Amino acid sequence: MASLKGHVLVASPYLVDPNFVRTVVLMLHHSDEGAFGVVLNRPAENSVKDLWEKIGEGGCDNEQVVHFGGPVSGPLMALHTLQGASETEVFPGLYFAAQRENLEKILRQDKHPVRIFVGHAGWGGGQLEQELEEGAWLTNPAKAEFVFYERESDLWKNVSKQIGDNLLVQVTGIKRLPDDPSLN
């Protein structure tokens, strides 16, 4: 199977694992050895400023909410658009950072969008492929707008609709799907 890095996994309506019900997961790594990503639509209750006071040196005025990236604990991580403060590129124009010096650069600026995560979703070798075969996840190429979506509560519904619309266009061979088919 081709790598799903830079794609989103969209939880199937039949996925009942409470960690992933109605989630959209951005895949940051996917290989034969395993995969990991972050849940994009699970905001936590504390702000970056609150969290930084516990782990950082010096202050941080960033009031945006931290996101719960998944059930696996791990380092604080960021998705952002500041190329000079990244460890890897997820897809063109979107970068990943977990090293302290990069996180500090990202959090002390306000020109580039950033989303901060605590925890991640992880799969062992072959585990994700099995879940895909079972129909637990739908996949779609990711877009920066998914990562920085303003209304996280609508993300699952909207990405699911895009996947359905794309499938309908492929199956029927129509060139353009109207926004509201009832108006035809």
Most confident by average pLDDT, 27-36, 99-108, 148-157 = 27-36
Separation CA 100–CA 70 (nearest Å):
20
Q: Does 1 fall in a domain?
A: no
HEC secondary structure over 59-87 = CCCCCCEEEECCCEEEEEEEEECCHHHCC
User: Is residue 177's pLDDT more than 60?
Assistant: no
Parallel, antiparallel, or unpaired: how do β-strands 43-47 and 65-68 relate? Answer: antiparallel
Q: In CATH, what number is assigned to the domain containing residue 33?
A: 3.40.1740.10
Which band of pLDDT confidence, cut at 50, 70 and 90, is reported for residue 81? very high
Separation CA 76–CA 79 (nearest Å):
11
Separation CA 70–CA 123 (nearest Å):
11
Q: Does 82 fall in a domain?
A: yes
pLDDT digits (tens, 9 = 90+) for 122-157: 999 999 999 999 999 999 999 999 999 888 889 999
Residue the block writes with tokens 């605590």: 118
* Mean pLDDT, the chain, whole residue set: 88
pTM: 0.89
Separation CA 151–CA 129 (nearest Å):
29
Q: Does 140 fall in a domain?
A: yes
Q: Does 49 fall in a domain?
A: yes
How many structural domains compose the chain? 1
Q: Does 96 fall in a domain?
A: yes
Q: Does 183 fall in a domain?
A: no
Domain that holds residue 93: 7-178
Q: Does 18 fall in a domain?
A: yes
Give the per-residue pLDDT at 24.
97
Pair of tokens at residue 107? 């959090």
Q: Does 184 fall in a domain?
A: no
